[in-house]
Structures are given as structure tokens and as C-alpha cells.
Chains A and B, each alone.
Chain A
Amino acid sequence: MIAETGLAALWLAASLSLLQLVLGFVPAISKSGSGPIRAVAVLQGVLTLFSFAMLLLVFATTDLSVSLVAENSHSAKPWLYKIAGTWGNHEGSMLLWVTVLGVSGAALAIFSRRLEERTFIAALAAQGALALGFFIFLLFASNPFARLNPPAFEGRGLNPILQDPGLAFHPPTLYLGYVGLSVAFSLAVGALITGKVDRELARAMRPWVLGAWIFLTLGITAGSYWAYYDLGWGGWWFWDPVENASLMPWLAATALLHSLNVLAARDSLRAWTVMLAMIAFSMSMVGTFLVRSGVLTSVHAFAVDPKRGVFLLILLAFYVGAALLLFALRSGKLSEGPEFELLSREAALVGNNLLLSVILGVVFIGTLYPLFVEALTGAKLSVGAPYFNAVVGPIALALMALITIGPLLNWRQDSGERLKRLAIPALLGVTAFVVLLIAVPQDGLLAKLGFGFAVALFPASLLPLLGRKLRRTPLTTYAMVLAHFGVATAVAGMSISSLTTSETLIAAKPGEIVSVGRWSIRFDSIRPVVGPNWTALEATLYATRGGAIETLKPQARFYTDPPTETTQSAILTTLNGQLYTVVGQQVGDRWQLRLWWKPMVTLIWLGGFLIAIGGALALIGRAWRGWRRGSVR
């Protein structure tokens, strides 16, 4: 019954999304205000959420008469993975996607009060149109509630790589970011229809973009750490197409966030901001297509069904095409905002937007190029780190330079007086670069430059606070400072860890002592251990670099349902880096050990986290200001 209730709720929600679309285009309704369409949007969101709750329930109770559960779950799984397993498969994760879409629409209907009414109605209609397409996809090509008759005796289990606490956190976070951007898309569409692209629109859109961007940042950071410790490869970013699929919306959202500030503060960059808002969610849809269509091979691509790929491609082409058409038809009517000079905050932010767009462009091309080549010529190829590092790296450095300069400039025009304050940071950066150039002989020019820029940005990011009364400085300024400081932190971590990581790969007997970096590690023993649904061989390593002796226990795990072997790394985090250990296969009486000492690698994720906190501060700061303004009135 639970599954049928869930399916019925889904059908109802789908019909409501159609009604939402229609209500937006019936002029008579617009006259009676936004009340009806608001109610429909809220109801639609609630029903979708209800449907998702039903799927959670089916997974929690391991109802093996539901084919999705039988194929992806198992009664002997720990409860956390039973719940999180709900979105550890194609249908469930698409339902989560649509749930976030519906709930975002409902939230827009409830909380957005400041926008001009006609624009708002058009935006809700656009949100309904988006939801409708994905509801159709769910109901006709990815029904999560399909029954299995007769029920399975036992489920097939969840891919062990996904059986990790990361699964509970990473996909929902990323989806909140991905799909939260749909609101920006809908608001942009609404504003284009009514022609009201102004500061009010920017202020209405900003919290949604900020919220989505915070979740995207957290999701990417968490995903990177998850891949780092779970795969046992010691890398934190592989330029995997699926990673790129989350990076592209983030790049667009970051650009949008900055151009929204220009629109809100100065009423400039109208057409461009609207375009970016549409691109950002389009990138989310491209990402969904890449991950869910099965055209890519990865741990994220659960199963291949060509029908789904074609369906998603049609949806994508339809929405992106419609948005671009609307933009082409309407953007010419937008009047121009006030002008600004070449040396001004606006110009720096335009530069930021252009560089981010160029990075987005090269990532987009690099990610899709193999698909195009294969479709056209049948040749198979892969585009990986060598391409992305070489092409993205230099542009990212230019962006770092701009982050250093931009916040010191005034709106509209600037004399460049405050740029003199950059002398000391610049000197520090150059010194750091030169020291690395001498001290680290192997190549890695990009990483060395990156570290130089990061060292300059650390103090430079604090400069906007210089000479201000700290208690009277708005929270949003602190937010910017913190986020930019986070960028410096992450880039410093990336550069140092890639330049100075040491690695040891060896086959050792128990009792042997192995060294990596300044660590000396005693391989004590290896013995079998048993977990809830796995068995493992666990090595015991004692590591020291003069001080205390630390214990690490990497495992080689064997899961039974489905039968799979995985490596479970053991990581020791210290103040200045991480010791990363993996145990491999048995070779005679020896065991393969792979050990890394990765200095400063933790800064990468700390930086990502600081960036997200910066976003949260900005959100709180805006809300606080809005609330105060409201209460003064």
C-alpha cells in the first residue's frame, strides 16, 4: 500500500505542476493575484515530499515486493544504508531530484514576497513547467514504486563503494544545490517575460542563489573528501566527468552570485545576469543528463537504459532551447544600466564573470568532447587531468589575481589609491614563489605559482576590513572576506600537497619497518575482522616521526551482497598534513602497502568549508538587513 500511496501522490503532484503552468498563463487568474498559483505550488511541493517519504519508508522496511528495493537493498544492511540507499540508485535519486525541485517551488511560493506580482506568477509557472517535465520522466521512464511479482526472497544489495556515511550526506547536499538553482532559472524566465530585470529581481533572486551555492560548495567539498578516502587512490579530484558535472553549475553559480551583487547594488549587467541564471540551472540539467543517462561510466551511473538518456536529452534540449529563445526575443528590450569605468568594482566583477565563464567553457568542452567524438566518428577517447590542469590552471591563476584586487575597488570608478596596499601581500607572494622555485626542484610551475598567489591572497583578502570600524562593518563584508580567505586556503592546500607528497609502494612482511616522508611505520600484523555485512583483512600499522606512536588500521574488505572487494584506507590527520595508508594484496608471505604523506592536504577541504561558511554569513547578513528594513517600515 505504501508504494501505491507514494505513486498516487506523485501523479497528483504531476497534475498540479501542469495546473501551476496553466495558471501562470491565464490572464484572468493573474488579475486575482498570486494566491491560487502559490497554493498550487505549495501543495505540489508537499505531495512530492510525501511521495519521497513513502519511498524512504519502503526502503527502511526493506519491502522486497518493490522492485527498486529488491534490486538495490538487502535486509542485512545497516539501517543507515537502508535509508541512504533510497537515493543510491537511479529511480530513487531522480525522485530526490524532483522532490528538491518541488520543495524549492513551494519555498519560493511561501517566502518570496518582495517581487513584482506578475513576474512572480510567471516565475512560478516556469517552475511548474520544469517540474512537469521531470515528473513525466519519473512516471514514464523511472518509476521508483514499480512492484515486483512475486516478491524477491532477498535483495541484491547496495554497491559497497556506496556503503559509506558519505552517501547519507553527499547526494542530498549536492541536489539541494543543483536543483535549488532552478529557482534562479524560473525567476530569470519570469523577469524576461515581464521585462522587469532590475534591482528588485536581483534582491529576490540572491538568497536562492546563495543557498544553492552554499550547498553546492559543501556537496563538492564533501564529495571530494569522500572520493579521497573511499577509493584508496589518494587523489582528491580526478576530473571525472561526474565531478565536472557538479563543478559546472558551481562555476556558473559563483559567477551569478557576483553579477547579482552588481545588479542589486548598481542596477548594471541586467541581460548578463539573467543569462547566467539560466545557464546555471542549465548546467545542473546537463550534469543530471551526464550522470543519469548512462552515457558516462562511473560509480554514479547506476544502470544504463538508452531510453532514459534520450528522454533526458529531449528535456534538456527543450528547457535550454526555450530559455535561450526567450532570451533572444526579450533581452533586446531590457534597457541599459548605469555605466562604469574600467577601473571599478563593476569592471573587476565583469572580469571575474568572464574568467569563470571561460573556465566553465573549457570544462564543458573537455567533458563533452569524448561524447561528441564517439557519436561522430566512433573513436573512443578520454580527456583527463592533463587537459584540465593545463587549460584551467592558468585561468584560475588569473582569477586569483582578480580576487586579490577586486574587493579593494570602489563602485563606478576608482582612483586605484587603495591598490597600493597590495604591495606587502604581493611581495610575500613573490617571495613564496621564489622560495618554492629554489627549494622544490621538480617541475610543477602551476602549483608553485598557485602557492605564490595563495600566499598573497591570505593577507590581501583581509584588506577590505582595514581602516573600518570592525563592529559596524556589515556581515556581508565579513562573508566576502571569509570566502576569499577560504579560496586562498584551498589553493594553498592544493599546491603544497601536489608539490610535496611523498609516496611509498612496497610489499612488506609483518614486522618490517617502512618509511614515507619523515614517518617511520612498523607493519605489525594482519588479521581477519568481521563487520555487519562484510569481512576484512585488517593490517595494524604503528607510525611515528619521533613523537607519539599512532596506530592505523587499513583494511581490504570483502562484501557478500553483492560480492565485491574494496579497499578501506586508514588516514591519520595531523596539524601539518595526513598520513594515508592502504593495504593491497598478499604476495607470498608479504603484503602490498601503499603509503602517502600528504603535507597540508587538509587545507583543501578546510578551504571549501570556509567558502561555504562565507556564503552562509552572506545569507544571514542579507536576511538580517532585510528584516531590519522591514521592521523599520
Chain B
Amino acid sequence: MIAKPKHQRLVLVAIALVAMLAAVLLAMWGLRDRAAYFYTPADVVAGKAQPGQSIRLGGMVQKGSVQRLADGVTVRFVLTDGAAKVPVVFRGIVPDLFREGSGAIAEGSLESGGTFDATNILAKHDERYMPPQMGNQAAEHQTAKTVDR
């Protein structure tokens, strides 16, 4: 690439533009199926979320619905938004702020049977942290904790 100065600058500019375009295309490709959309129980019951698709489900933990399984680390509960209910199963340590009657966000995917298989639970934060998400109904403890496998 022995080029006259003017020529070389053009080549560099062209390379830079191609790189930026590549970044945008790459990002769009990545976002197409890797962005997790936020759904309410009503959305899920209405069939808006595909089974297996990675989503976030937000609602209130229904009173009296939390039950621990015999292994001591799996918990089942129901998330509700008043209009609809979705059963959730989660294996792990629930966050400190996870309580019946409080807001929570479950990350994971729907099983074909209609149960939501959560890989992570985010619970309502205290009153100092009022994020826009869920219309101040619930807040995240921190955004996604996703184990990369």
C-alpha cells in the first residue's frame, strides 16, 4: 500500500467507515435475538412471549404462594399483576428483599407447560431507589446477573 498521502488518508477514512458500519451491523445482529424483553403476567398469559425465549417477567409475588421444595433451595411462587398469574420456579438463593406481596422481576424463560423457569430473581429495592421500570412498582437490585456459559 504505497500510496500518495492524499490517497492514504482516503483509504484510512474508508476503513474507519467500514469498521463503524461493521459495529452497527454486528450490534443489530446481536440485538435481534439477544435482547430480553420485559413482560407482565398478562402479556405472558396472552401468549406474547415464546417458550424458550429469554425474557424478564415482572409483577407482585402473590401472598401465600411462596413454597419451598424439599431440597431447600428451590422455590415456587406466583407472579401476578392483578389481571393474570404466572407460576415461577427458581433454584437459588432469593434476594434479601424478596417477600410475598412485594414486587419482583424474574429473568428466565417460559417452559412449554406455562411455568416460568427463572435463572435470576431481582427484588424490590428500598424507597430510596425508584427506577422508571415497572412504573415505580418494583426495582431491580442490580441489573442482570447472567451466568455466562
Asked, given contacts A299-B142, A354-B16, A564-B126, whether A379 binds B37 with beta carbons under 8 Å apart, the answer is yes
Q: Is A436 among interface residues, defined by CB-CB distance under 8 A?
A: no
Q: Could you say which residues of chain B place their CB within 8 Å of the CB of A238?
A: 142-146
Does A384 contact B27, Cβ atoms closer than 8 Å?
no
Task: Tell me the complex Cα distance, A365–B30, Å.
Answer: 10
Does B128 contact A381, Cβ atoms closer than 8 Å?
no
Q: Could you say which residues of chain A place their CB within 8 Å of the CB of B31?
A: 365-366, 369, 383, 387
Q: Is A562 among interface residues, defined by CB-CB distance under 8 A?
A: yes
**Which residues, 407 to 448 on A, are CB-close (under 8 Å) to B?**
442-444
Q: Could you say which residues of chain B place their CB within 8 Å of the CB of A505?
A: 73, 91-93
Q: Is B9 among interface residues, defined by CB-CB distance under 8 A?
A: yes
**Which residues, 492 to 524 on A, are CB-close (under 8 Å) to B?**
498, 505-507
Q: Could you say which residues of chain A place their CB within 8 Å of the CB of B22?
A: 358
Does B30 contact A240, Cβ atoms closer than 8 Å?
no
User: In the complex, which of the residues B15, B27, B141 contacts A362, with contact meaning CB atoms closer than 8 Å?
Assistant: B27
Q: Is A28 among interface residues, defined by CB-CB distance under 8 A?
A: no
CB distance from B38 to the nearest CB of A (A): 4
Q: Could you say which residues of chain A place their CB within 8 Å of the CB of B9?
A: 336
Report 26 cross-chain contacts, Cβ distance below 8 Å, ordered by A residue.
A156-B128, A240-B142, A297-B129, A297-B133, A297-B140, A299-B129, A339-B5, A340-B8, A341-B2, A355-B19, A358-B19, A362-B23, A365-B23, A369-B31, A379-B37, A380-B133, A382-B143, A383-B31, A383-B34, A386-B146, A505-B91, A507-B71, A565-B97, A566-B96, A567-B93, A582-B93
Residue of B at shortest CB range from A504? B73
Task: Tell me the complex Cα distance, A358–B21, Å.
Answer: 9
Q: Is A30 among interface residues, defined by CB-CB distance under 8 A?
A: no
Residue of A at shortest CB range from B93? A584
Interface membership of chain A positions 295-312, coded 1 if the CB is closer than 8 angstroms to chain B and 0 otherwise: 111110111100000000
Task: Tell me the complex Cα distance, A584–B72, Å.
Answer: 11
Q: Could you say which residues of chain B place their CB within 8 Å of the CB of A342?
A: 1
CB distance from B90 to the nearest CB of A (A): 11
Q: Could you say which residues of chain A place their CB within 8 Å of the CB of B5?
A: 336-339
Does A385 contact B30, Cβ atoms closer than 8 Å?
no
**Which residues, 35 to 81 on B, are CB-close (under 8 Å) to A?**
35-38, 54, 56, 68, 71-73
Q: Is A545 among interface residues, defined by CB-CB distance under 8 A?
A: no
Q: Is A533 among interface residues, defined by CB-CB distance under 8 A?
A: no
Chain B positions within 8 Å of A, measured between CB atoms, are 1-6, 8-9, 12, 15-16, 19-20, 22-24, 26-27, 29-31, 34-38, 54, 56, 68, 71-73, 91-94, 96-97, 126, 128-133, 139-149
Residue of B at shortest CB range from A362? B27
Does B130 contact A304, Cβ atoms closer than 8 Å?
yes
Task: Tell me the complex Cα distance, A470–B57, Å.
Answer: 60
Residue of B at shortest CB range from A393? B148
Q: Could you say which residues of chain B place their CB within 8 Å of the CB of A374?
A: 132
User: In the complex, which of the residues B23, B128, B146, B147 contacts A358, with contact meaning CB atoms closer than 8 Å?
Assistant: B23
Q: Could you say which residues of chain A place their CB within 8 Å of the CB of B23?
A: 357-358, 360-362, 365
Asked, given contacts A235-B147, A587-B72, whether A387 binds B34 with beta carbons under 8 Å apart, the answer is yes
Q: Could you say which residues of chain A place their CB within 8 Å of the CB of B19?
A: 354-355, 357-358
Task: Tell me the complex Cα distance, A355–B20, Å.
Answer: 10
Q: Could you say which residues of chain B place their CB within 8 Å of the CB of A303?
A: 128-130
Residue of B at shortest CB range from A391? B30
Q: Is A389 among interface residues, defined by CB-CB distance under 8 A?
A: yes
